Structure 1
Amino acid sequence: MSNPTSAELDLQRRALSVLTELAPAAVELGEVFRGAGHELALVGGPVRDAFLGRASADLDFATSATPDETLALLAAWGDAHWDIGKEFGTIGAKRFAGRRGDADDVVVEVTTYRSDEYDPESRKPVVAFGRTLEGDLSRRDFTVNAMAVRLPDLVFVDPHDGLADLAAGVLRTPIAPERSFDDDPLRMMRAARFAAQLGFHVEHSTLEAATQMAQRIEIVSAERVRDELDKLLLSATPRDGLGVLVATGLADHVLPELPALRLEIDEHHRHKDVYEHTLTVLEQAIDLETGPDGAVPRPDRVLRLAALLHDIGKPATRRFEQGGGVSFHHHEMVGAKLTAKRLRALRYDKETVRAVSRLVELHLRFHGYGDGTWTDSAVRRYVTDAGPLLERLHRLTRADCTTRNRRKAKRLSDAYDDLEQRIERLRGEEELASIRPDLDGGQIMEILGLRPGPEVGQAYRFLMELRLDRGPVGADTARDELLRWWSERPTS
């Protein structure tokens, strides 16, 4: 580079340290390809991360070799290989730790020089293989990902000034953004994702193009959109990326419930709007995630989705009350249904849909605790209804307190502390994690002289309500209460 800035020099020093660690395996693979008459270069994320002082677990390479030629070379180089991405020119391989001095497993993916383009009516990219590294780099999403290191000589290639953009914290496309986003509309989602992951800002013309072309994201499959949204949400600062989605209008097509919140004034008038409140709740929920051995290890996708979606029922339930107030009665129930619908549309798995929508449904339950007058029965029901989601519900409920009134915030926090203490007390006295009636189905049938059928289920539910109301009562008391219920039940 000619006349590098101090920031760029600092990045180069970081990269040198990281690339030195990567070099043995990468250089060796470069020699393998050169020996067969092909070019090989380390590209994309690993190069970017090297300049940021981060070592990538997986290594991405670009090559002039065809997929079949790459497959043959990697089969000889590695201990395992796969060709699941061969249609797109990508072959993967792994060399296990200990072989040729590798301290850890080495995982590589090698892709033939290419450019991805979308047919206007297709949801899948059409692959066209290229001939040069520079051509390949020009078709990448952003300049910070369009840098490469030629192997085995470790020659840095940066035809689009990606290093300068990296030093400035800028996301810019290597070619005209309209052309780039037309070739692959998912790059617009990646702009939001990298804004969240890297803390970079999107360059003006790139942001403008995404705004003008936002509707084109609809040709991309829901699964690919979901994956980008996941990466954004699981980043360190998802608020920045969500801001890009909303500002460009992309959210109107992939998550319309989020921008809809900008129009809904929070009923407590403590926030600019429900949208800002939601982003604050998300940040506070992230702060409450735990380390790897904690109850909710960071990053937790279910908790973050629930925080993002917890108030999406408000637009449909807003009512203006006499005196100037605003209410959102039952927005948690409406929101739970909307959450399930949106997550299914994004092709999330059934367990994630169930868990997130359940948290949205339950997120207001604590507010009935208020003055701490819940009975033990109510506490048991709270724990039972939350089930395995209890620790996430704790965090979502605490995060949902965004009042600037310190006295009220402390009162709410103290109330929830009290609730958690009561849960722990009951947990010590009872098996709260798996509350069951004192009699099982077999005992019910024996006592009442029944065969399997609906009446057994009704009796079981009666005993479950008894257990929740009174705690463990023992088999004898449960038998007496069951017989009393059976004798008093209405018969047709």
Structure 2
Amino acid sequence: MSQPFKDAIAICKAILRNGYDAYVVNAQLQKELLDGRETEIDIACEPDYEELGKLFPSLERSNEEGVVATMREGGALIRFYHTDTEESSHPEHTLARITPRMLRVLEEQGKMPPALSCPFIAHTGDVYEGFEDFSKGKVQLRGIPDETLRRNYLLVIRAMRFAANFDLPIEPNSWMAIIRAASRVLDYVRISDIMDEWRKVEAECMWKFVQLLFDSQVLHGLLPEVAALSRVRQQRNDEGAEETVLDHTLECVRHYPEGEYNYDWLGTFAMLFHDVGKLYTAEYFDGKWNFYQHHRVGAKVTRKLLRRLHFSPEDVEQVCHLVRHHMRFHFMLTDRGIRRFKSLDEYPRLIEMARADLEARSGSYTYFNHNMKYLERAETPEQMLEPLLNGNEIMEFTNLHPGPQVGMLRDALLKAQVAGEVTSVPEAVDYVREYKAKNFG
């Protein structure tokens, strides 16, 4: 081994000893390319210019393509390039085998094979790296889409995030590359990185993002239980039309942020799981699909899925709570029922979930409006919601016979109690007698 390469290896070891990765790029090819030329050696390393400068004082900045810095050592010109540090790149792209400088020499010597026509040297960049300018009105991967994704499969998720948030279509060739790469996303991309991208999706755009995850089949690998809802059918509303549970779920996710909680990311995310239990509870009987206890089963399934997605324990409990109780507001509640509902944590979110569900179904608001009116009554102390005298006692003190007059008198007594005009049983007896004399003779 010649001295320049020994020096280059010594430089790599110095970088390694300081906690960074470094290696000589394709040493055999570099040796063959010398051919009487000035000795030039390319090194791929992890640290940036500032960190390298602390290790090698003679370092100089460079304007060459992909070159972080240059340095002369023992008569050889050393070029430093960034090595690939992306956790989500294909294994073949982890090790750079050619640099732009080596490519130029190969072209001059007429030795460039087709496989080396598109070298990749990793370098740090912003979040839009790998994408064409969005001024074109679409989300498009830069260069050859398949090769761009092989360098960083996280771009699959990021492309769909941009498409959802900016309401832009994905360029056809880029979309096909995304579909082809879908099976590799979970192979090479960390769940925490996927969720970091997902949390940057606006609440009102989440339904588009999830639809893209499903269409690209990324959702099938990430959350197969949710994707499987596309094969579960249900009755949409009383008119009898059918829909898939996934279509209904996406509609719910779309409608949830339209109310007061338009920035509620976690509530919108919970809407995605509210019917996941239907996959396990579906039962066809008497010409109709039934999903008894799907909210309870769904909460248990959701807990498993959120742990898979590395959610914090606090968020897991909150989302599971919303899934568990999302059916509470769908039934016509009594005074006691509405008070029990209002005692639940996050009950305003549960109301929004019920509203989104109705919007998605184009359903009737009869029960919903009834419950909203009773919700106002829940502010009244419970003892004020029952009259001090029951029907039998009212008939005893007023000598009335069973009939509508007793009910009218009972309602009047209750209103007087709420208004504070009647506060005790003796006052109630006097009130019903006076009311009967005044209104019924």
Aligned mates of 1:141, 1:180 — CA distance in 2: 15
Q: Note if 1:222 corresponds to 2:191.
A: yes
Contact 2:249–2:275 (Cα < 8 Å) also in 1: yes
1:178 shift after superposition: 2.0
Aligned mates of 2:90, 2:129 — CA distance in 1: 28
Contact 2:163–2:170 (Cα < 8 Å) also in 1: yes
Gaps in structure 2 of 5+ consecutive residues: 1-46, 55-67, 69-80, 102-118, 384-441
Change (3 A) 1:241 1:185: same
1:251 shift after superposition: 0.5
Which residue in the other structure is 1:66 paired with?
49
Aligned mates of 1:390, 1:410 — CA distance in 2: 18
Aligned mates of 2:121, 2:203 — CA distance in 1: 27
Counterpart of 1:354 in 2: which secondary structure? helix
Change (3 A) 1:270 1:249: same
Once the two structures are superposed, residues 161-190 of structure 1 have per-residue CA deviations (whole angstroms, 9 ceiling, x without a partner) of: x34xx2332112113222222222111111
Once the two structures are superposed, residues 366-397 of structure 1 have per-residue CA deviations (whole angstroms, 9 ceiling, x without a partner) of: 2332xxxx33322222122x22x111111011
Task: Give the TM-score of the pair, scaled to structure 1.
Answer: 0.52
Aligned mates of 1:127, 1:362 — CA distance in 2: 51
> Could you tell me which amino acid in structure 1 is paired with residue 195 of structure 2?
R
Which residue in the other structure is 1:231 paired with?
200
Aligned mates of 2:323, 2:141 — CA distance in 1: 38
Which residue in the other structure is 1:257 paired with?
225
Counterpart of 1:417 in 2: which secondary structure? helix
Change (3 A) 1:277 1:236: same
Contact 2:295–2:326 (Cα < 8 Å) also in 1: yes
Q: Note if 1:172 corresponds to 2:140.
A: yes
Which residue in the other structure is 2:296 paired with?
333
Q: Note if 1:394 corresponds to 2:351.
A: yes
Which residue in the other structure is 2:334 paired with?
375
1:335 shift after superposition: 0.9
Which residue in the other structure is 2:72 paired with?
none
> Could you tell me which amino acid in structure 2 is paired with residue 329 of structure 1?
Y
Contact 2:277–2:297 (Cα < 8 Å) also in 1: yes
Task: Give the TM-score of the pair, scaled to structure 2.
Answer: 0.58
Aligned mates of 1:343, 1:139 — CA distance in 2: 31
1:354 shift after superposition: 0.7
Change (3 A) 1:356 1:131: farther
Change (3 A) 1:119 1:278: closer
Residue 345 of structure 1: which of 304, 308, 315 is its match?
308
| Residues 22-101 of structure 1 mapped to structure 2, 5 A cutoff | 66-68=49-51
Counterpart of 1:272 in 2: which secondary structure? strand
Residue 323 of structure 2: which of 360, 375, 381 is its match?
360
Name the % identity: 25
Contact 2:230–2:244 (Cα < 8 Å) also in 1: yes
Aligned mates of 1:203, 1:121 — CA distance in 2: 22
1:126 shift after superposition: 6.1
Aligned mates of 1:137, 1:326 — CA distance in 2: 54
> Could you tell me which amino acid in structure 2 is paired with residue 191 of structure 1?
A
Residue 182 of structure 1: which of 142, 147, 150 is its match?
150
Aligned mates of 2:89, 2:198 — CA distance in 1: 23
1:226 shift after superposition: 1.3
Change (3 A) 1:127 1:375: farther
Which residue in the other structure is 1:313 paired with?
277
Rg larger for: 2
Contact 1:186–1:225 (Cα < 8 Å) also in 2: yes
Contact 1:265–1:272 (Cα < 8 Å) also in 2: yes
Which residue in the other structure is 1:429 paired with?
381
Gaps in structure 1 of 5+ consecutive residues: 1-63, 72-88, 90-111, 148-161, 291-297, 432-492
Change (3 A) 1:222 1:118: closer
Counterpart of 1:320 in 2: which secondary structure? strand
| Residues 248-287 of structure 1 mapped to structure 2, 5 A cutoff | 248-268=216-236, 269-270=240-241, 272-287=243-258
1:398 shift after superposition: 0.9
1:280 shift after superposition: 1.1
Aligned mates of 2:266, 2:50 — CA distance in 1: 38
1:243 shift after superposition: 1.9
Aligned mates of 1:428, 1:181 — CA distance in 2: 60
| Residues 398-417 of structure 1 mapped to structure 2, 5 A cutoff | 398-402=355-359, 408-411=363-366, 415-417=367-369
Aligned mates of 1:127, 1:353 — CA distance in 2: 39
Aligned mates of 1:235, 1:363 — CA distance in 2: 19
Aligned mates of 1:235, 1:336 — CA distance in 2: 21
1:399 shift after superposition: 0.7
Once the two structures are superposed, residues 251-276 of structure 1 have per-residue CA deviations (whole angstroms, 9 ceiling, x without a partner) of: 11222233211111123454532111
1:424 shift after superposition: 2.9
> Could you tell me which amino acid in structure 2 is paired with residue 68 of structure 1?
E
Contact 2:153–2:184 (Cα < 8 Å) also in 1: yes
